[in-house]
Structure 1
Amino acid sequence: MITLYSWNTPNGRKISVALEEMGLPYKVEVIDITKGQQFQPDFLAISPNNRIPAIVDEEGPDGKPVSVFESGAILLYLAEKTGRFLPADPRGRIAVWEWLMWQMGGFGPMPGQVHHFLGRPEGAARDYGLERYGAETRRLYGVLDRRLTGRDFVASEGEPSIADFAILGWAWRHERHKVNLADFPAVGAWYARMMARPAVARGMSAHLG
């Protein structure tokens, strides 16, 4: 059994979707980040960076419990554990690694800044933040749109990969970061395909708080 420590955020949804797609049994331990639960000692013991998500797998690689923090590391761990959604072919793996790192380094931090500045008081600082990070967010959507043109999935053929799960977590919040998917038709078509998957629907509806 895997315990998912999470909250209803893009990074949290990456993992609930992956767990559902992989058919792994799991339970959720809600970490209410609005109440500072991410700073509790028990949670810090498994996620020292005081960020969700984190997991504890009672059946780790050596048969003993193991904890994993950081959403990208969790996705890689789960893919290695199940042998799914990460190609065995070395070239295929490289593409998944690339797009997973692309998400972790940009398509997450940048729209996250849009979310932050939308919550700031009106004024020059808010306007500057929204202009800067909104432009970069749209640039990243453009990169993704070019990649998905003529493709069903971001980094693999025939089925999604953990890169799709990672990117989907943030595309799920496109309305919040003021992006109209009609402006990025390939992304919009991919998003619709992903959201229509039964396991994705279960992962998106899992109670994370």
Structure 2
Amino acid sequence: MTIKTSGQLSLSEIASELGCPASSTLAFMVSIATNSKSPVQVNKTAPHKISEFYGYRHTSSTPAKLKSIYFNQLRFDSVAQYFDIGFRTDTAPYGRVVKIHLHINPTGVSSGTTLYDGIIYSGVAPTSNTTWLTGKIDLNLDYLWPGKLARDNFNVMCYYTAYFEDTPSINVYAERQWILRPQVTTTTS
């Protein structure tokens, strides 16, 4: 898509063409307007004007896609449940909002029960990197343990789905099983 060539032009229209958040500054938008094949080139010298974008077409008409999520740090037991999850994209995401949805259910006898289902992370992706980390996500799922799971014996499946907020149907998926068996104690006489 090409930005219109006349009429009133807003920052949100420019942001839409560039694939960046509407809250981005004009200076930031100028810095990422790098399509040398556009019929119009944006002036990189300050002061910047919105009118510099009339007729500009950005090469990033296809927004970045998530390629994978991975676990940098993780722990799931009766004491703590936290994750530090990493993302990989095919191109720079230009500060788009990324979310992680988590679904947890026990495996085995009560596998039809949902223990948790919701968004555990919502954050802004970097403007230029194609890999980054969420930082520690502490779930504090203490409410799971009383009556639903035994603290010394559990078997759960965690299903992670990550996606950009503006393209939720394009997502990546990971799963992880967590098992804790009771410690066997032996006595000697």
More strand by share: 2
Q: Name whichever structure is richer in helix by fraction.
A: 1
Q: Which has the larger radius of gyration?
A: 2
Q: TM-score range by the shorter chain?
A: under 0.3
Q: Say which structure, 1 or 2, has more relative contact order (CA 8 Å, 6+ apart).
A: 1
